A = this chain, B = another copy of it.
Amino acid sequence: MPTPQDFRLEESDVPTPGEGQVLLRTLYLSLDPYMRPMMNEVPPAYAAASVQVGQPMVGGTVNRVVSSRHPRFQVGDLVLGSSGWQDYSLSDGKELVPLGEMKQPSLALGVLGMPAFTAHVGLLDIGEPKPGETVVVAAATGAVGAVVGQIAKLKGARVVGIAGGADKCRYAVEELGFDVCLDRREPKLAERLAAACPRGIDVYFENVGGEVFEAVVPLLNHRARVPLCGTISSYNGDTPPPGPNRLPQVLAVLQQKRIRMQGLIILDHYGDRYDAFRRDMDAWVADGRVKLREDRVDGLENAPAALIRMLEGGNFGKLVVRVADV
């Protein structure tokens, strides 16, 4: 688990854009679980490199163009960027996505952004829920899990969430429309999950790993689908946990029940799936069928504590840092 001492706030001069560059002011910074594996010395398999000690942390951002020597961007443009944990940054524009004007620009980091896109692709392309099937998702009020559950409901599935704490569970049922939500901090999760899934589990959207996964496995139905979108519970481990070794039993169950499990890194899909996501999600958000609570923190200096809180399961909704109002 990272500590506040692993982070340092550094000040330097605001840089000046060269020819073909823009200077960006960060308005909102997204905090997401994948940031933890990016802090490892060995980079995760999806990243070209880890965040190096002394370099700024990475992260998705909503930015305002404050100075431009790039033909495609004007001062004042609102863009989706990847400035990381910085107030100001330079960009050659290649990775910037124009956002137009938005009433609530931070949505571009949440229900209209990467976490919801992960939910959309993982649930629909890998999970493929059918009406009447049972879908289970953990971190049920988190940025990904909340959207998974709501899309699954739109597709006619029965949705069972798992979340940390009674308030989150109540929110998942009352506000997000989950059929059931189980508090993972209460005892006997496996038994409660079995009771909540009387017809077994057809889709388990995996975004936490660990104890939840082990409770899910015995309940998986024949031909169940398991999109693997994250395993936050193991991000802080650098050695395998103590035994027994659950792997052989899990492989046997997957084989005997003809289960399909597939990993997903959403970066792969901006080319082929992003438009379909935005078409669906813009409509669902506009008419209120999908929503996502925002857990907003003010000030870049509070990002380290907020990230740690998220890794401990303490966030309630999509965690964003408001860096500046411009």
Interface residues of A, Cβ cutoff 8 Å to B? 37, 44-46, 206, 209-210, 213-214, 222, 228-231, 233-234, 237, 239-265, 268
Kindly state the separation between the CA atoms of A243 and B230 in the bound complex, as whole angstroms.
Answer: 23
Besides A240-B249, A241-B248, 9 new A-B residue pairs in contact (Cβ under 8 A), listed by A number: A213-B247, A228-B255, A229-B255, A231-B251, A240-B244, A241-B243, A241-B245, A257-B263, A258-B268
Kindly state the separation between the CA atoms of A143 and B273 in the bound complex, as whole angstroms.
Answer: 41
Given contacts A243-B241, A258-B263, A260-B261, contact A248 B209 (CB under 8 A): yes
Q: Inside 8 A of A234's CB, which chain B residues have their CB?
A: 248-249, 251-252
Contact of A209 among B46, B246, B251, B261 (CB under 8 A): B251
Q: Inside 8 A of A248's CB, which chain B residues have their CB?
A: 209-210, 231, 233-234, 237, 240-241
Contact B250 A261, beta carbon cutoff 8 Å: no
Chain B nearest CB: distance from A25 CB in Å? 32
Contact A265 B259, beta carbon cutoff 8 Å: no
Kindly state the separation between the CA atoms of A71 and B274 in the bound complex, as whole angstroms.
Answer: 60
Q: Inside 8 A of A262's CB, which chain B residues have their CB?
A: 254, 258-261
Q: Inside 8 A of A264's CB, which chain B residues have their CB?
A: 255, 258
Q: Inside 8 A of A260's CB, which chain B residues have their CB?
A: 260-263
Contact A245 B255, beta carbon cutoff 8 Å: no
Contact A231 B252, beta carbon cutoff 8 Å: yes
CB-CB nearest 9 A-B residue pairs? A243-B243, A240-B244, A45-B256, A234-B248, A255-B263, A228-B255, A246-B247, A260-B262, A258-B263
Contact B256 A245, beta carbon cutoff 8 Å: no
Given contacts A251-B228, A261-B262, contact A46 B243 (CB under 8 A): no
Chain B nearest CB: distance from A114 CB in Å? 15
Given contacts A241-B244, A242-B245, A243-B243, contact A259 B263 (CB under 8 A): yes
Contact of A240 among B46, B237, B241, B245 (CB under 8 A): B245
Given contacts A228-B254, A255-B263, A261-B254, contact A45 B222 (CB under 8 A): yes
Chain B nearest CB: distance from A267 CB in Å? 10
Kindly state the separation between the CA atoms of A214 and B251 in the bound complex, as whole angstroms.
Answer: 12
Contact of A261 among B213, B241, B261 (CB under 8 A): B261
Kindly state the separation between the CA atoms of A104 and B254 in the bound complex, as whole angstroms.
Answer: 35
Residue in chain B with minimal CB distance to A126: B260
Kindly state the separation between the CA atoms of A210 and B44 in the bound complex, as whole angstroms.
Answer: 24
Jot down 23 A-B pairs with beta carbons below 8 A, ordered by A. A45-B253, A46-B257, A206-B251, A209-B252, A228-B254, A234-B249, A240-B244, A240-B245, A241-B244, A241-B245, A241-B248, A244-B245, A245-B245, A247-B247, A254-B261, A254-B262, A254-B263, A255-B264, A256-B263, A256-B265, A258-B268, A259-B263, A260-B262
